[in-house]
Structure 1
């Protein structure tokens, strides 16, 4: 193994840590803040969740994507001929699409709503409806990432 492979693999692992770590911590922050039913706490947590997704989730996903594609290309691997690469890529893609198409738009919507109730006004029902969708889809997206960890580590044939 050459140094380029190991550097890219290290960046890939770092990206996975940032990505998965933030996804799990984000769910925790939102659930714990929402349990308080305190408008200011929920508004603060919602803003931080949205900001950390831009930095850590997107940053981690970017590292995973760039380093993974670079190593696939440099090693001459074929994702159509390797189940672990094919499944890993598919799981990453589906999870990413769930984040981009559903979760991030919901978070942005909730952040806008949270700015309106941060001063102590009543939390609208729309926030809680969006939260239920966010939790269900977020758990699915997280499970896909956890399944991906299996494929990347065990590399079944």
Structure 2
């Protein structure tokens, strides 16, 4: 029973992690593309809250439950699918850390533009391009981790 509960928590937290990540990215991306500064300010504020509430907590829960499942199931830590999963998760995490900082800057810059009734500054657009560039490898790394967790191929 313990394995089943931990596995459920692992899958649930993976769902929150990936779902919040892809949902937040989708809404922020298309809100920014709209160039509606007031909407960008609102959505970026919500995305930052969602990242702290859901993504940050699940970035901790995932490795804890994952390593515990490996232990309970008796898989060797050096199994290639585990090594690759950990490496890809780390890559995604290393992309996510600056993304959180960038999202906070996007939030602050868009809120300041709304308050001053001005367009978004060039720095906003520079941060946004970096945000997109970091999101792409994180997205594909998480897709690969999902596949490795399900298939355990190597």
TM-score norm. by structure 1 comes to: 0.91
- The equivalent residue for 2:105 is 109
Count of residue pairs the alignment pairs up: 153
CA contact (8 A) 1:17 1:60 kept: no
Structure 1, unaligned runs of 5 or more? none
Deviation of 1:143 after TM superposition, in Å, equals 0.7
- The equivalent residue for 1:75 is 73
Indicate which of 40, 47, 50 corresponds to 1:49. 47
Indicate which of 59, 82, 90 corresponds to 1:85. 82
SS of the aligned residue for 1:8 comes to: helix
Deviation of 1:75 after TM superposition, in Å, equals 3.4
Deviation of 1:116 after TM superposition, in Å, equals 0.6
Q: Deviations over 1:52-97 (max 9, x none)?
A: 00111112222212211222233343221x1111111111111111
How far apart in 2 are the matches of 1:155 and 1:76?
14
How far apart in 2 are the matches of 1:23 and 1:148?
14
Structure 2, unaligned runs of 5 or more? none
Alignment of 1:1-157 (within 5 A): 3-80=1-78, 82-100=79-97, 102-119=98-115, 120-157=117-154
How far apart in 1 are the matches of 2:121 and 2:68?
46
How far apart in 1 are the matches of 2:73 and 2:110?
47
**How large is the Cα RMSD of the aligned pairs?**
1.3
SS of the aligned residue for 2:77 comes to: coil
TM-score norm. by structure 2 comes to: 0.93
Deviation of 1:115 after TM superposition, in Å, equals 2.0
